[in-house]
Structure formats: C-alpha cells, structure tokens
Structure 1
Amino acid sequence: MTAGLQTIIYPVTDLAKAKSVFAALLGVDPIADTPYYVGYRVAGQDIGLDPNGHAGKGMTGPIGYWHVEDIEKRIAALVEAGATVDREPKDVGGGKLIATITDADGNMIGLLQP
C-alpha cells in the first residue's frame, strides 16, 4: 500500500542559487535548511534540494518518493516484478527510511517509509 507520491528530491550543484529559484517558485521559506539538504513543504508536498545528489548519489534528475508503510515489503514486491535495487533502505533521520529502485526502463523510483 502506498500513501502516494509525496516527496520530490532535486539534485542541485549550487545550493544557494537553487534555494533562490525554489523560494521564487514556491513562495515559502524552507522548513529544513542545512548545507546537505534544504526542504520545503507546500500543500502537503515535500520538495527537497540535495547538493550531493549528482556527484554523491548519481542522480541525473529529480526523483519522486512514494510513501509506503513497509519499505522492505514494497522493495521485495518491486524486485519480484522486475525492478532492481539501486540504493538499499537508509535511515535519513528520525527513523525515516529511503531507498531507490530502478525499473526495467532505467527510471528511478524512490520509496520513503515515514
């Protein structure tokens, strides 16, 4: 079961410039503002800026994260359906787990367990 696509992470190379662009787009201040992640929340949607996304994580563009109840169970179902695990679940703070999967066409699918 999924609670929907609620988080989108953008890889950025210049965090200050990206913050300026997203502030203009979203019209709100960030709810998290650190050197390694800037996050916004607008209308129930989480939008993140990751300055390590390109070089550190190999992101080539934004990744949407589907919120799931049981990340391990969802990964197993996706692998059984033909996807491959790109990044195993990782705790990113407060018990929140994220992982990325690649589908048969090479598309990245993010999973997030709150």
Structure 2
Amino acid sequence: MTSTRGILTVLHPVSDLGKAKTVYAALLGLEPQTDSPYYVGFDAEGQHIGLVPDGGPQGMTSPVAYWHVADLDAKLAEVTAAGAIVHEAPHEVGAGRRVATVVDLDGNVLGLLQDS
C-alpha cells in the first residue's frame, strides 16, 4: 500500500470568481498567489485553497479535497481495487502536476494529486 501526505489542496467551485476571491482573501488574510480568469489559488500555512469558476471543465458542484500522493497511478489502482470508481482520469494540469478524482461508495468525490 502507498501512503499519502494528507489533504493539502482543496478546490471550491464558485459562481462569481471576483467576489469569491475577495471573501477568501479576507478569510485567509492574504492575497492569492495564482490569479487568473480560470483559477485563483491561495497558499496558506502549507495548504492550497483553489477557486474554480463555475466548477471548471470537470463540473465540480461541491468542494473537492485532494490527497497528495507520491505515485498517483499506484494509489488510483489501490482505491479502485477497494471499490472507488474513477470520476476524472489522471491528467496533467501544469508544471508536472497530475490529478485524478474518484467517487467513493457513498458518492463523495475524492481527489488525488501527484507533484513531479
């Protein structure tokens, strides 16, 4: 079994990126480190909080917590063997970072994230 580094990234779908950015900046007490029309990201005390307008291309409808793993393919094989179903196949999102999502037995979406 491969281990995880824990939940270090949480993405939130938002309907108004500008307004959400203001709220999260006030909540976290800092300005975003990534600020684009398709994604706003805050790095706060070792955790990354991302805002995704309209749920992004993956159609997020609720926040998704991403478990950081050393080997995405191995962890994906383990969780699907245990009964999870692939929701979003592994793909690169930039700078060598790969992500995938699965749905657990109760319908919860779980994210997996591997940095190169």
TM-score by length of 1: 0.96
Aligned to 2:82: 81
Q: Distance in 1 between matches of 2:53 and 2:113?
A: 19
Aligned to 1:71: 72
Q: Deviations over 1:28-62 (max 9, x none)?
A: 010000011000011100000001416x3221210
Amino acid at match of 1:14: D
**Pairing of 1:1-114 with structure 2 (within 5 A):** 1-53=3-55, 56-114=57-115
* Aligned length, in residue pairs: 113
Amino acid at match of 2:86: V
Amino acid at match of 1:35: P
Q: CA RMSD in A?
A: 0.9
Amino acid at match of 1:38: V
Indicate the percent of aligned positions where both proteins have the same amino acid. Answer: 51
Does the Cα contact within 8 Å between 1:36 and 1:52 map onto a contact in 2? no
The gaps in structure 1 that reach 5 residues or longer are: none
- SS state at 1:41 partner: strand
Q: Deviations over 1:45-104 (max 9, x none)?
A: 0000001416x3221210000000000000000010000000011111001001100001
Does the Cα contact within 8 Å between 2:58 and 2:88 map onto a contact in 1? no
Amino acid at match of 1:40: F
Runs of 4+ aligned residues of structure 1 deviating over 2 Å after TM superposition are none
The gaps in structure 2 that reach 5 residues or longer are: none
Q: Distance in 1 between matches of 2:25 and 2:33?
A: 12
